Amino acid sequence: MADEFIKGLGILTGAGLAWMVLASWFQTPSFGSTRQLIAAPPEPSNLFDALAIGMIDVFLWFALLGALTFWVLIPAGRQARTVYRDRRSN
């Protein structure tokens, strides 16, 4: 159980950090505004900007769904498999 927790935590912190870095570079118009990290990104001026802007949403969803998978879905699947096996043996 601890290995699922640390895998989920690693995905959440790693992808979350990458999301925060890219979102702060591209989606923060000024540090005095209230729309930090969620403002609309600018038009990309080169290929690397386009890739980075595209990866912002990928990192956000990977962080959320990766942690959810390792913290909820995998343990629930193992629990369901155990219950099914115990019910079937009786």
Note the pLDDT of residue 34: 75
For the chain, which residues make up each domain, given as ranges?
2-30+45-89
pLDDT for position 9 = 96
pLDDT at 88 over 80: yes
pLDDT of residue 37: 81
Residue 31 has a pLDDT of 77
Please give the pLDDT value at position 16.
96
Average pLDDT on 46-59 reads 95
Residue 66 CA to residue 10 CA, distance in Å, equals: 9
Q: Tell me the average pLDDT of the chain.
A: 91
**Average of per-residue pLDDT across 2-9:** 92
Q: Please state at what angle helix 2-26 crosses helix 47-68, rounded to 10 degrees.
A: 150
Amino acid sitting at position 59: F
DSSP category for residue 36 = T
Q: Which of 6, 4, 14, 2 is nearest to 64 (CA)?
A: 14
